[in-house]
Structure formats: structure tokens, C-alpha cells
């Protein structure tokens, strides 16, 4: 029964999220209006998009142990070609397919080069690729990328059901479908025998090689799949925001993804998703909160000046999270086992206990 509930509750959560556009529930402090309001749906859609993108980054960092500083490049490889091709008159589905192929090819080529190094060398190579990609976008080659100003998504190939404020619910459902697909892919992969190999590569590459497995091929496969998931997120992102800017290819964007993973808990089932939702929500909402504090009567001048800076508020929140939850939000609730308290995920603990039982036999 517990196993059935453990498998069914993610589906129940997805079902609840799917009916939110029909809900008139209003939570005044958390949101500016009811769930059915376009502004609220837009905020939730952004949370879902980044939750999916963070899953792709955690597949590299948390699951395989690859510290990449260029993951945003594959996100941009999905966003920019989609925007450029739709503006050129391509139907959306063709533009999205071409962008997904471009992201896949880019991940294969750059991954094949970068993975000849490891550790800090791998991080520096991916950083160099990211810097080159950002510079290329900023230089606006042939007037395709829009330079520093970016691009606005428009064109005859864009379906009417994805444009306009009245269709925000459709974009929200698209974002929900994306995060569900990303989570399902990562979970199914890690639950398969290939997932155990990936974990082995992260923990001890030499031991995997001794067993006759090619760790380079494993890493490249994970790197490519991660890039594909990120490119798909870029496609959904450009549809949701209605445009794209060079920021989505920058190293700062990759560092944001890293912060999301660390906040939630790298390599955990729900940690990256939770970290992405919390970060994106706070990043969006603290701007409005800080503005309200700065203009509220009776607030001391020095305090209003400090609280009027959203980044300061966000930094304070993150410092508190790191201090009180160094293992991420997924490790906040302690679990008891064998008379002691630890933060081992229940699934990993059960596997470890079964291994101990086999050894005792």
C-alpha cells in the first residue's frame, strides 16, 4: 500500500497542477490574484520551466558528477533557433524540431571535446564554450540574434492558441507537460540499470572502467541527453516569454541553475525541482515585495533602502537556507533509522538495508 501511494502521489500532484487554470482560489500574500489569472499562471509556468531545466542540469552535476559552466548554451540552442525560424516564416513544429536537433548536435560535439578532460579542466572548457556562444549571440551575426536587445517571437507560423494573454493557460499546460516529461526521463533513467552505471561513474570512474565499461561513452550519453532536455526547455521558455535575450546563454544563467540544484539538494529525487521552484518564485515575487516595502509609510529610511533591493533579500534568504539546510531543502526533515537520525533518502536507505541483509545470509 505504501509503495502504491509512493508511486501515485506524483501523478496526483500533476493532476492538481493541471486544474489550477480553472481555480478561482486567491492566496493574497503569495500571489497577486487567483490561480486562473494570467499573471499568476505566467509565474507558475516559469517555475515549472526552470524545474525541468534544473532536472537536466542535475542529471549532469548531481547524478554524474560533471560540473559544467556552459549548460545555458544548450538552453539557448533551443530558444534562439526556434525564435529565428518562426520569425522567418517556419511553422512552429518545424522550428521546434530543428532547434531540438541543433541542441542535440551541439551537445554531442561540445561534449565529445570537453569530456576528454575532467574536474576543473572540464569546468573551464565548458565555460570557454559558453563564453564563445554568448559572444556570438551578442555580435548578432547576419542580424539573426538581435544582439544585446534579443528577439521578439512573432511570425505567421506561430499558432493562435499560443499567443495573447487569453491563452496563458495553454502556455502553462505546455510548461507542465515539459517538466513532467523531464522528471519522468530522469527518474526512469536513474531507476534502470543504466542509472546504476551513471552513479558508479560519479562515485568511482576507475572501478567502472575495470568492470569493462567505457565511462567516456556513459558521460557523453548523459551530457547529450542533458543538453536535449535543456534545449526542449529553451523552446518552451521562448514560447512562454514571447522572446529571448543573450542572458539565457550566459555563464550567470548556468550559475543560477547550479544555485537551484544546491538549494534543493543535488542528486535527490525532488530536491532540484523544489530548489528551482523556490528560487524562481522568490526571484519574481521579491521584486514586488521590496517595492512595496520601499514605499510603505513609516519604514525607516535605512531599512527601506536595504529592503528595496530584491537581490539583497534573495541573498539573505539563500544564506539562511544554506545555513539551516546545508544538504538542501530535500534534507530538511530528518529521518530515523537504527535508533539514530540521518538525512538518507528513504529509497537509498531501503536499498542499503537489503544489501546488508544479503551479506548477513
The tens digit of pLDDT for each residue in 84-99 reads 999 999 999 999 999 9
C-alpha cell at 211: 568492470
Lowest model confidence (mean pLDDT) among 53-57, 148-152, 207-211: 207-211
Q: Are residues 221 and 343 in the same domain?
A: no
> What's the pLDDT at 301?
64
Q: Are residues 216 and 281 in the same domain?
A: yes
DSSP 8-class letter at 146: -
Number of separate domains in the chain = 2
Q: Are residues 312 and 352 in the same domain?
A: no
pLDDT beyond 70 at 247:
yes
pLDDT beyond 90 at 225:
yes
Is residue 185 within 8 A of residue 178, CB to CB? The reply is: no
Return the percentage of the chain with pLDDT > 90, whole number: 61
Is residue 259 within 8 A of residue 279, CB to CB? The reply is: yes
φ, ψ for residue 151 (rounded to 5)? -130, 150
Q: Are residues 224 and 111 in the same domain?
A: yes
C-alpha cell at 200: 558508479
Is residue 251 within 8 A of residue 67, CB to CB? The reply is: no
Q: Are residues 59 and 39 in the same domain?
A: yes
Q: Directed axis angle between helix 215-241 and helix 38-64, to 10°?
A: 170
Question: Residue 346's domain spans which residues?
Answer: 337-361
For residue 321, being part of any structural domain is answered with: yes
**pLDDT classification of 314: cutoffs 50, 70, 90:** confident
Q: Are residues 223 and 343 in the same domain?
A: no
pLDDT beyond 50 at 343:
no
Residue 26, beta-bridge partner list: 34
DSSP 8-class letter at 133: H
Q: Are residues 257 and 306 in the same domain?
A: yes
Is residue 261 within 8 A of residue 275, CB to CB? The reply is: yes
User: CATH number, domain at 56?
Assistant: 1.10.3470
C-alpha cell at 303: 531599512
For residue 44, being part of any structural domain is answered with: yes
Q: What is the pTM of this model?
A: 0.86
> What's the pLDDT at 104?
96
Is 122 in a helix, a strand, or coil?
helix
For residue 14, being part of any structural domain is answered with: no
pLDDT beyond 80 at 108:
yes
> What's the pLDDT at 350?
53
C-alpha cell at 290: 521590496
For residue 202, being part of any structural domain is answered with: yes
Amino acid at each position: 500500500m505504501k509503495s502504491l501511494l509512493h508511486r501515485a502521489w506524483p501523478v496526483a500532484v500533476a493532476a492538481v497542477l493541471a486544474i489550477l487554470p480553472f481555480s478561482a482560489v486567491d492566496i493574497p500574500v503569495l500571489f497577486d490574484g487567483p490561480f486562473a489569472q494570467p499573471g499568476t499562471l505566467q509565474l507558475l509556468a516559469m517555475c515549472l520551466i526552470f524545474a525541468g531545466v534544473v532536472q537536466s542540469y542535475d542529471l549532469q552535476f548531481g547524478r554524474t558528477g560533471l560540473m559544467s559552466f556552459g549548460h545555458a548554451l544548450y538552453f539557448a540552442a533551443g530558444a534562439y533557433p526556434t525564435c529565428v525560424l518562426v520569425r522567418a516564416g517556419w511553422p512552429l513544429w518545424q522550428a521546434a524540431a530543428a532547434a531540438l536537433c541543433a541542441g542535440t548536435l551541439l551537445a554531442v560535439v561540445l561534449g565529445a571535446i570537453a569530456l576528454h578532460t575532467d574536474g576543473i579542466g572540464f569546468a573551464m572548457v565548458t565555460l570557454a564554450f559558453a563564453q564563445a556562444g554568448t559572444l556570438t549571440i551578442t555580435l548578432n551575426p547576419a542580424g539573426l540574434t538581435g544582439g544585446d536587445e534579443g528577439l521578439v517571437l512573432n511570425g505567421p507560423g506561430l499558432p493562435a492558441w499560443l499567443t495573447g494573454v487569453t491563452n496563458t493557460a495553454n502556455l502553462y499546460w505546455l510548461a507542465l507537460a515539459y517538466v513532467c516529461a523531464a522528471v519522468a526521463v530522469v527518474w526512469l533513467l536513474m531507476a534502470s540499470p543504466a542509472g546504476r552505471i551513471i552513479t558508479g561513474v560519479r562515485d568511482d570512474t576507475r572501478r567502472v572502467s575495470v568492470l569493462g565499461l567505457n565511462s567516456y561513452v556513459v558521460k557523453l550519453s548523459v551530457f547529450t541527453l542533458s543538453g536535449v532536455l535543456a534545449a526542449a526547455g529553451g523552446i518552451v521558455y521562448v514560447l512562454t516569454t514571447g522572446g529571448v535575450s543573450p542572458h539565457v546563454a550566459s555563464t550567470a544563467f548556468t550559475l543560477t541553475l547550479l544555485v537551484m540544484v544546491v538549494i534543493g539538494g543535488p542528486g535527490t529525487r525532488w530536491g532540484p525541482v523544489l530548489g528551482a521552484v523556490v528560487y524562481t518564485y522568490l526571484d519574481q515575487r521579491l521584486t514586488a515585495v521590496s517595492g512595496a516595502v520601499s514605499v510603505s509609510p513609516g519604514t525607516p529610511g535605512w531599512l527601506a533602502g536595504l529592503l528595496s533591493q530584491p537581490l539583497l533579500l534573495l541573498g539573505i534568504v539563500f544564506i539562511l537556507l544554506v545555513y539551516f539546510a546545508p544538504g538542501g531543502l530535500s534534507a530538511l526533515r530528518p529521518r530515523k533509522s537504527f535508533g539514530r537520525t540521518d538525512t538518507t533518502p528513504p529509497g537509498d536507505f531501503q536499498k542499503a538495508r537489503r544489501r546488508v541483509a544479503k551479506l548477513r545470509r
